Structure formats: structure tokens, C-alpha cells
Structure 1
Amino acid sequence: MRTVRARVTILVSSAVLSLSTVVGPAVAAPLPDGPGTPAPAAAPSVPQHIDTRTKSTEPVYDYANAIRESVYVDATMDTDSDGENDEIAVDIVRPSETALTGVKIPVIMDASPYYSCCGRGNESEKKTYDGDGVIRKMPLFYDNYFVPRGYAMVGVDIVGTGRSTGCGDVGGRDEIQSVVDVIDWLNGRNTAHTASGQKVLASWTTGAVGMIGKSYDGTLANGVAATAVPGLKTIVPISAISSWYDYTRSGGVPYSDDYMPWLAGYVGHDSAACDEVRGELGDNDDDETGDYTSFWAQRDYTANASKVKASVFITHGLSDYNVQTNHFSQWWSALSRNNVPRKLWLGLEDHVDPFEFRRDEWVDELHKWFDYWLQGLQNGVMKEPMVSVETTPDVWRNYRTWPAVNRPLPVPLAAGKLGAAGKGSVTVTDDPELTEDDIVADPTQVIAGRQMFLSAPLAAPLRVSGTPSVTLRLKSDSATTPVTARLIEYGEAQRYTGIRRTDDSTCEGSSTDYDDSCYYTVEKLTAQSDHGIVSRGWIDAAHSKSLTKPTPLEPGQWTTVTVPLRAQDQIIPKGRILGLAITLSDTEWTSPNDTGATIDIDVAASQLNIPISSGHLTAPTKPQSIQVEITTPTQRPNLHDPKN
């Protein structure tokens, strides 16, 4: 049974009702600004949807009678080499009342490759069209909620996907340019037409655009912001990629092989021309070397963070091993260095939209954010705390900035100990059969293929806030080897394990019989366990000094290798024990790349670098006994499932 908790506010004045009666259901043509369309009335000084008292937009427009239109924006490239420039399919839902009164409105845009192949949101909604090919249902709640409040919702099929022509290049210049072309049209710098060829202007909009989207969609928002395209005022990337190199590999260690051409085929058109483009993706991805090349530099948006003019509201899950946490942290750091106005929400969750795990607060905050940046309403949203972090399920703390610590604390290593300086060396021989369960189990025992370093029980809570790393002075008997590090906390607790959809729904905006605003809620799942992974990290030792020009190791010679772990913000309670596990290849989380190497680690010249803002680490003074019971095998997530 689907029970509904309504969260809908409808404010319709008699004036709006009379307009709705006159306008009637929206149709595909004639379009506003098209031939023969009456000129709109003079725009009021204060639009009806703006409440000057509350400094907020209000839902005064009739969603059922909104204008729904589908247009094709003329792209500036010919990616399928057919001799004609590509066309980018754009679907729009906007208030009919503002069109009649001459009120120009801003745009909320979700550009995506997923509208046809996979769907959006937890319920995998796809676009649907009427018999004339005009948008009928737009996925997600954005149009239901924001169109009555004086916004246009724009869904863009990026080049090579959905109803757009051409071939996509997976985060490259062509996909980003296809979105820029749409923003240019919204600002009068480009052209568009209907399916029948009728020219369409976008004079109904102010040209102010806010991009939003999860995963690939949010990634596109990052990439477009890095072009500094005029008109883009803000972006809201949710669990988004900031560098495709770091999405497909870690320091030269691949997560999977031939991913880029596979993803292009999964979301794109089935054509010989696109097969050729995908072949080029495979030829240029350097899976064989793991090197960072110009191919990856083109898809590294952090490199152009200095160009970002839009504000940025980032949300990310601290358990996300699809788009891992280094993506938000390196993007956030780059934006910080360039003083970009920004905000950050970090949840405990994995690859999950905050609409699912913090719905009421998310909708309210998103509303204020767009009102401020797109409608110019001084509602105080930028005076709120910059950072909000979920510390335990459904418990959030606000912070002034992130990370709390910019200089990680160096923690020395000794044989079997974390927090004490040692002497001599320890040895690790690659064992590709080791699973993560094997690695974290029996931490006080000697296990071939693993070196474990343990702290004493924490004397006070420890807040890890930032990006840990491990610096190892090592020598190898091989020219290279992967090196894997895991930071683990031991101690009994209820720990977050995921989410599950319930039978309850909430409604976030206005509905029609063909596009309702109601979505299932989720519940968070926890389980009692005796350990949790704080962070993981991988690097190919030859790539430690340069991702562009790897340096093969000289067998038997000492060198320094730094393993970057994933960013984290976690409060570890008093009494817990921290463990650092070092292994070599990792066939669960990365593509098999074992070399059979053996390394020696000089513990005196090695250390854990951990960003802690409170508490401290000490080494145990006597042997410890830690019991770890693995009751179910750890399932490696599908790191790159497009539906996620």
C-alpha cells in the first residue's frame, strides 16, 4: 500500500484562476514568441510569485496549465560526421501566466544522458511525450515544485543521447559544449527550432540558469561551470565526478577496463558513426599504462576551477564508492582556492540523492538556494553555516568550513603499532586472493600478504575531517606494484549499511494525472558490527611521483610512495581502536593487476597522515586482543552502475 504524506502548498489567486480559464491546457503550438503570438502584457514591477515579506517565491501558478514545449537547439559541432551540425533536444515546462504577463523567469536545468536509457531518481523515471512529441512528463520533482513558483524547468538530452543527434564523448568537450549551446540559446546567443522547423526564441527567460543533477548529471554541471559560460549562475552537483581520471582509476590503478567506450555505448545511440567515436575513446584512455594524459586532462574539471563564476552547492555521501569522496574534496578545495561562493552537505550515505535521505530539509534548502541565486531574493541562505555533516544516522552538525584540518597530523608507525616510532622494516608479499574480510579480520594476528598497525583505544573522541594518506618508504623486487591502504576503526556499534525504499510517499509540489509529485521515502539501515572502514586508497607505486610520467621502481632500491585515501568526515568515539592495513593488489575494488611483488617497508621513515581536529592517537603499550567476526561476505559495490 502506498500511503502519502502530503507536503503541498497551493496558493492561487483569483487573478491566476481567471488566467488559467482563458489559457486552458497548454499546447505545443503556437509557442510564445512564435509567429502570430500576441505580445504579452507589460510585466508587473514585482512578479506575482515573489513574496517580498518572506523573501521567497510562492506557488501561485497553475502547474496543470503550464506550457510544455520541446525544441531542438542548434549545436556548434558535428560529432557523428554526417555533414550537419548536431541538434540538442531540450524539453521545457514553464508557467503560462508569466508568458501572458511578460514576466521573465529563470531556468533550473538538469542536463543528462539518462532520460531515455536509464531514468532518473530512485524510481528511474524517464521523460514521456504526447502524440505530437511534446514533453508530457518530466522526471523528478523539480518541475512540480518550482514551476508554480516562477521557474522554468529545462531537461536537456546531451549530445548523442535521447532525442539529440550526434555521439557523446563521455565528459569531454563535445558533451560539455552541447549544454553550453543550450545556455547560449537561453541567453539569445544561439538558435533553436521545433520539430517542424519553426524558429523558437527564449525571450521568456531572464537567462539566469541553475544546473542540478546527480552523478553524471551533476558531473556535467561541474564541467559546464568550468567553462565560465555567461548565464550560468549556480550549480548543485549531487554525488558528482570532478575528474574522470579519478573516476576510472586511482593513481594509475584501474577500477575497470574499457569503461569509457562501454559507458558511451550504454547511454548513447546505436550507430556506426558512434561506434567509431567509442573506438577512439578506447584507443585514448591509456588503460594499459594508467597514465594521466591529455585525454584525461580534458575531462578534469578541477584544472579549470579558476574559471568558475557560478556558485556551487555540493552534496555527497561519505560512503560513496561509486563516485568516491575524493571527487567532492578536490573540487571543493579547488573552488575554495578561487573564492567561489559555495555550500556543502555530507551525508553518511553512499550514492544517494539527499532528496531520499533528508527530504524536507533538502527541498527547503534548495528552494532558498535557487531563490537567492536565480531570483535575487536576499533570504539569508549565504549567512547560514557553510557545511552540514551527518555524524550518525539522521543527526547533523553544522560547521563553519571544510575540512576542519588542512594539515594532517603525522602518525608514526612501528611493527604492529600505530602512534609510536619504530625501527627496522616489515615485509608484504602480494596475495591477490586476500579479500577485504580477510584483511580486516584478526587484526592482532600475522596474516601473509597484510601488515596491520594498531593504535591504543582512543582516550577521547577523534574527528577525522579531510583527506588521509599513508607515506611509505619502501623497496620492491618489482618495477612496480599496486599498494593498497585501509583505515579501519574497531569496536562494537550500530553502523550505517544502506537504504531501503518504504511504501510511504511524500508529495513535493503540484501534480497532474500524468505527472505526479509523489515519491517513495526510504529508511536507513544499520547493523551491529565490530568494525567499520574509515577510508580506502590505492596507488600504482610507479605513479607515486607523477601520474603523467611514471617512474619504474629500481628493484632493491628504497623510494617513497604516498597512498592517497578517500576524504572523510567522521567522529570516532572514545574507546575505539584505529587500524591501518597495508596490502598490495586488490582484486575486489580494482581491476586485477597483481604483480606478485614483495615490498619491505621502513617503518621509521613511514607514517599515516590523518586530518584530526580533536583527540589524538597513541600506540598500545601491551599486546591487544581484538575479536572480529565476519558473518556475511563483503559485497563489492557495482562502482560504475549508470543507474546509480
Structure 2
Amino acid sequence: MAVTGRPWRGGIAVLAATALAVLAASPQAVAADEPPTIVVSDGVTQPVFGYSDAIRERLFIDSTFDSDNDGLRDIIAFDVMRPKATADGLKVPVVMDASPYYTTLCRGNDSECKVDLDGDGLLDKWPLWYDNYFVPRGYAVILLDMVGTGNSTGCPTTNANQDNLSAKQAINWLNGRATARNAAGEVVKADWHNGKSGMIGKSYDGSLAMATAVTGVQGLTTIVPIGGPSEYYDYVRSNGVVTRGNSYVSYLANVVTNPERRDYCKPVRDALGAADGDEHGDYTAFWNERSYVKKVPKQSASVLLYHGINDDNVRADHMSKYWYALAENDIPRKLWISQEGHVDPFDSRRAVWVDTLHRWFDFWLQGVANGIMDEPRLDIERAADVWETHADWPIPGKVDTEVFLQPATSGAGGLGLVPTAKPATGRFQDSRTQSQNTMINNPGVVQPHRLAFLSEPLTAPLHISGTPTMQIRASADQTDTNFGVILVDYGTDERVAHRASGEGIITLDTQDCWGESSATDDACYRQTVKRVATADTELVTKGIMDAQNRQSIRVAVPLVPGESYNFSWPLLPEDYVFKPGHRIGVIVVASYPQYSSQADTTAANIAVNLKSSKIVLPVVGGTAAAHAAGL
């Protein structure tokens, strides 16, 4: 249940339990007459500390903000678990997962919530596996309730400053720059902390890790964002087009708020809905506050980044834009790209992920020289459970390569490395109801609401790695329209079924265990396998834009009917190999209902100047590789 007041102030019942709970002691591989220390063997820390006897606390920090405008600073609550040996002088780092979900949607594929079974104010069930695995290896684990959620006060603001600064309060406390108290109001110090902390989390939790890192807060050494939004405008918009409407920001704030506080927080949500700009989709200061990419120059924490390239919830441009900014600022980094959708690597490549994360935290937080930063920067899944490593991403040798739209002699147009020799125009009409399947299927058949362009069957593999861009010259007979493009692989193959139930995985009834267990919290989780399917086509990537935002996503400029303009917009990033015998397809549309929540309402007739229109593909090997593949 959420704490609705201030736990240590008058009128609030003090929890009966002490803020420390030390359960029955278990054997420990540290001699009693020697200072406790971690044990490193085979290049990693070993599980020599107990789990059942670990120290458990719930603490509260006065924040620096007032999200619910009640005149009082919000209180941020967090739960701590640390080895018993920290009471005897062991200094440990922290692994923190800050989340808004612990008491609502819960966490992980097993949907685990925070649970206090006996009502003593301390957790008996800890979501996720980080505590079970890392506490016995000499780490503390913190699960922090984002502002307005769980036991924290205030109201969620969906990635605004109050959300973004929630975890920073705990980092400051760990490093002696803030005061934390237990439920009885007693000051508690982190005298057991070694000065280094890491943050990890999937989705919203991953965004909170990035948000904390880009504040530049001292003591945050590394972060591990998993499928997290890095640019919230791109989560609900795309180049001026609203992709999630109906005040989505306000909607999500309601979802993560504990039910008993939703009425109380309604004024905050109403203010979010009034400021989000659903009516136009342009970029405003509202979104600038929710951008982490722009703030990367302030960041010093290293990054282990994970993203499903086919994630249609938190789309892959959140990964790419953040990754590009990390590279520009020379932040130490590694990247995993999987073929799944919105899936945690623990449920995609479990054993290798646990080993990698263990070595990552050991290196950055415990100072173990295990060579992880000497390994290739990129791990990428090429097909189901088939992984490759590369020096970096995009793959070295990638060259942006122009592929021109060719006029149709019958059916689909063509694709080539030189523009058409003669002027040619492709015409189609906006359709607000055309489905994605209709757009993609039967590319050789002329349809009134799209333009289709097909390469000849490829004679060699063609590998793209990075962010494609669509560039067209076109006119419309209305003052506004949208533009969309889909890059398609036409060729039969077995692929990860990322659009099916489970987003590419099947959850099994069997379990395996990762770490130590207690009487109330086991370390066992359901196993998964990849969901694969054979299909004749694959939607490789896509992109949309509002034609009125052709100059800037900040300003909309109406079209002059009949006048031609240059339009350029990015597709979602990709890393994909088109196989020999397959054909590359480029589908140009206007409204794209399965990508945007607000289809264009103009029903414009559109004319595309093919001689001046092209798609720019990030081809590994550039024009030479494209020639070799038969383009």
C-alpha cells in the first residue's frame, strides 16, 4: 500500500517493525577474525555471503521537488538489501532498479510485485532476480519507488523532471549528500557503501536509469537500460505525427499510480493532458524536459545497452539516438541487439546475459579486471538464437547508399543505384483505412493508395546497418498530408515471430534458478524459447512524417496545394541482411493507421517526382556491395 503521508511526522502511524531485519544467520565463507571481503575466482565475484540473513531496510528521503503541488517536498521510498557482512565493515556497491511499477503492473516475465507478507514494513518478496544473484556476491540491491508510486509520495509526471530526479535522491544519499530516515524517523547512513552504484531496468525503469545518468550525478558509475525510452517525444510522436494519442502521457501516469491515489493525482494528470500537444504533434518544451539524448554530454556513467530491434512498443530509434549520442561523447559502452520485440534479455539469452551482466557490474562496481571492455562492443542476434559480435554499431564499413525509385512499366516500380533517365511521376491517394498488410502484400499489383518499388532478385547478400532515410520530392492537392514508407524483404524464410503473442518468445512451465533463495523469495523463473515462423515477407523497418513538419518538428508549415517540396525523414534503425534470391521492396504511403493513432484527414492526392526520389540505405560495403548484390 502506498504511504500517503510522511512516515516520520506527526499524525502518521509509525510502523511497528524496526527498519533493519536480520534473519537467521547462515554460514559465511569469511573468517570471523578477518575483515570481510568479496571473493573473486575465475574472474568473477563468488556467492560467499548469505541471502536469507541479508539486512533488509525500507528508507525514505525528502526530495527536492513537489510533484503534487501540496506545498511539501515529495518523499522517495526505497527498499535496500545488503549482505549481513556490511554490518562488520564490508563495503559494497549498489545495483538499483528504480521503477514506477512495483505495486501496479509489477516486473519481469513472471509479473513479480513487491510484497510485505507479515506487515512489518519490510519486503518479503523482492521482484526480479537481481537481489537473489548479486547480494550473495557482495552487492547491495535497491528497488526504488518512483515519485507518486509504491511507498513514495507525490504524483507521477511521465518522465518529467520529478520522475527523472527520483533515483538521484538515493544516489545522493549513498554518497553522503542527502539524508534518509527509516519509518521511525531515525537517520540512517550508508556507511557500508563503496561509493559506486549501477542502475538497471527495462522499459520505464530503463528510462529512469538514463534520466539519472544524464544528470551527471556523482557516484552513478554505470547503467544498463533495457528497451527504455530515451526521447519521450519519439515514444508518442514521430516527425510531427501523433503515434499514441488521447493524452497518452496522462494515461500512463494514471496506470502507474496506486489505485487509492488516482483521484488525488487527477489534477496533475489533467495538467499533463493539457500541455502534451496532441492537437498538433509538434515538438515543444514539454518534450524537451523528457529528452535524455540532448543531455548525454553531462553523463559520465558507462552504458550496457540492450534493445529488441523489432520492439514496436519502445521502438529502436530510442536505442539508436541514445547510442549515437554516447559515441559522440565517448562514453564507455556496449550494445546488445536482439530480434525480439519488447523482451528482457533474461528471457531471450538468459545464461549469456547473466554472465555478461555479472562481469559488467564486477568490472565497473567492484573493480575486477575481467577484460569485458576489451571484447567486441556489439552482440547482435542475426536469426533465432544465432548471435554475432562486431567491433561497433553501426557495423564498421557501413556507407549511406542512394537507391533510387524507378518508374513502373507494369505493376511495381523498380529500384536502382542511378536515377531514372527520364522524368516520371508516381501518383496515389491518401487512405485513412488502408491496413499495413494491404500496403505490403501483392507488390506487383497497382493499388490506388500506395506506390510499390521492387528490386530484382538479389544475387548476393545485402547487409544494412544503421538508420535508413527516405527522400522524396512530391506535391499534394491539400494543405496537409502525411508520408509513410515501409522497407520490406520479399522472400520466404524462417524468422523470429516478433509480432505474435510474446513478442518473439514462448514462456514455458519449466523454471531455472539464478541465485540464492529464502523461505519467502525464490530465485527461480520460467524459462523461454524463441517463437519462430516461416513467412514470405518481412517488414524490415518503417518511418512516417507530417508533411507540414518538413522543415522542423517544432514548427508546422502548411503546404501550398500543387507545389512540389523536398521531404526527408528517417526510418527506424535496422541491422538486417537481405538474402540472395530475395527482393527489396519500398512501399510509399500517406496515412499509416497501424503506426499512428491519428490518421491524416485530408485524403490528399499525391504526386511523387521519381527522378528526384530515393531511399538512402546504410549498406555495409556501400555502393560496391549494392552492385554486387544486383541493385
Give the structure-2-normalised TM-score.
0.90
590-599 or 338-347: which moved more? 590-599
- Structure 2 distance, partners of 1:104, 1:619, is 57
The 2-side partners of 1:466 and 1:231 are apart by 33
The offset of 1:455, in angstroms, is 0.5
Whole-Å separation in 2 of the counterparts to 1:173 and 1:374:
27
- AA matched with 2:493: A
Q: Secondary structure at the match of 1:137?
A: coil
Q: How does 1:323-402 map to 2 (within 5 A)?
A: 323-402=314-393
Q: Write the letter of the residue equivalent to 2:496.
A: Y
Partners of 2:87 and 2:192 within 8 A in 1: yes
Paired amino acid for 2:604 = A
Q: In structure 1, what is the equivalent of residue 500 of structure 2?
A: none
Is 1:448–2:448 an aligned residue pair? yes
- For 2:626, what is the secondary structure of its paired residue? coil
Task: Give the distance between the partners of 1:206 and 1:619, measured in 2 at CA.
Answer: 55
Q: How does 1:491-530 map to 2 (within 5 A)?
A: 491-497=491-497, 498-530=504-536
Alpha-carbon distance in 2 for matches of 1:103, 1:433 = 63
Per-residue Cα deviation, 1:348-390 (whole angstroms, up to 9, x for no partner): 0000001001000000000000000001111100001000110
Q: Decide whether aligned partners of structure 1 residues 32 and 199 sit closer, same or farther in structure 2, where only a CA change above 3 A counts.
A: farther
- Matched residue SS, 1:90: strand
Alignment correspondent of 2:77: 89
Contact kept in structure 2, 1:541 and 1:561, CA below 8 Å: yes
Alignment of 1:414-433 (within 5 A): 414-415=406-407, 416-419=413-416, 420-422=418-420, 423-433=423-433
- How far apart, in 2, do the equivalents of 1:289 and 1:228 lie? 33
Cα distance in structure 1, aligned partners of 2:518 and 2:138: 18
Q: Which runs of 5+ in 1 are unaligned?
A: 1-26, 34-40, 622-644
Instruction: Say if 2:124 is the partner of 1:124.
Output: no
Q: Cα distance, 1:593 vs. partner?
A: 2.2
Distance 1:417 1:549, change over 3 A: same
What is the aligned partner in structure 2 of residue 305 from structure 1? Answer: 296
Deviations along 1:476-512, one digit per CA (max 9) or x if unpaired, are 1112211110000011111211211112211000012
1:248 maps to which of 226, 230, 236: 236
1:93-122 CA-to-partner distances (Å, cap 9, x unmatched) read 11102322x011100000000000011000
Task: Give the partner amino acid of 1:77.
Answer: F
d(CA) in 2 for partners of 1:528 and 1:138? Answer: 39
Pairing 1:129-144 to 2, within 5 Å after superposition: 129=116, 130-144=118-132
Superposition pairs of residues 465-614 of structure 1, within 5 angstroms: 465-497=465-497, 498-594=504-600, 595-614=602-621
Number of equivalences: 586
CA contact (8 A) 1:508 1:518 kept: yes
CA–CA distance in structure 2, aligned partners of residues 202 and 123 of structure 1: 31
Query: Which residue in 1 is equivalent to 2:5?
Result: none
Q: Could you give the per-residue CA deviations for residues 377-429 of structure 1, whole angstroms, max 9, x where no partner exists?
A: 11100001000110011111100011025641111111101115223111121
The C-alpha deviation readout for 1:288-322, integer Å capped at 9, x for no partner, is 11110011011010001111100000000011010
Q: Alignment partner for residue 180 of structure 2, among 185, 192, 199?
A: 192
Deviation at 1:82, TM superposition (A): 2.3
- Match of 2:531, SS? strand
Equivalent-residue separation in structure 2 for 1:46 and 1:610 (angstroms): 59
Note if contact 1:485-1:563 (Cα within 8 Å) is conserved in structure 2: no
| Matched-pair contact (CA < 8 Å) for 1:221–1:235 | yes
Alpha carbons 1:108, 1:152 under 8 Å: kept: yes
Distance change in 2, residues 1:604/1:322 (3 Å) = same
- Alpha-carbon deviation of 1:328? 0.3
C-alpha separation in 2, matches of 1:351 and 1:526: 16
- Note the 1:150-165 alignment, pairs <5 A: 150-165=138-153
1:29 aligns with 18
Cα distance in 2 between the residues matched to 1:271 and 1:433? 35
For 1:619 and 1:379, the matched residues in 2 are separated by 41
Structure 1 CA distance, aligned partners of 2:553 and 2:32? 56
Cα distance between partner residues in 1 of 2:33 and 2:275: 55
- Work out whether residues 19 and 122 of structure 2, in 8 Å CA contact, stay in contact via their aligned partners in 1: no
Question: Which deviates the most, 341-350 or 198-207?
Answer: 198-207
The percent of aligned pairs where both chains have the same amino acid is 43
Which residue, 379, 404, 407 being the options, matches 1:412? 404
SS at structure 1 position matched to 2:265: helix
Cα distance in 1 between the residues matched to 2:532 and 2:100: 33
TM-superposed CA distance for 1:575, in Å, is: 1.1
How big is the shift at 1:562?
A: 1.2
CA separation in 2, counterparts of 1:590 and 1:77? Answer: 34
Distance in 2, Cα, partners of 1:46 & 1:247: 49
Distance 1:602 1:295, change over 3 A: same
- Residues 21, 57 of structure 2: 8 Å contact kept: no
Q: Distance in 2 between matches of 1:619 and 1:523?
A: 33
Residue 45 to residue 486, structure 1, CA distance change in 2 (3 Å): farther
Moved more, 396-405 or 601-610: 396-405
> C-alpha deviations, 1:217-243, integer Å up to 9, x for none?
001111111100011000000001110
CA contact (8 A) 1:455 1:617 kept: no
Task: Report deviation, 1:46.
Answer: 7.9
Output the amino acid matched with 2:45. T
Partner Cα distance (2:603, 2:523) in 1: 55
The aligned amino acid for 1:152 is: A
- C-alpha separation between the residues in 1 aligned to 2:629 and 2:603? 31
Q: Is the 8 A contact 1:242 1:300 kept in 2?
A: yes
Q: In the TM superposition, what is the alpha-carbon distance from 1:620 to its structure 2 partner?
A: 8.6
The residue type paired with residue 98 of structure 1 is T
Q: Which amino acid aligns with 2:154?
A: G
- Match of 2:511, SS state, is strand
Q: Distance in 1 between matches of 2:147 and 2:179?
A: 16
RMSD (CA atoms): 2.0
Opposite residue 530 of structure 2, the aligned amino acid is K
CA apart distance, 1:49: 2.0
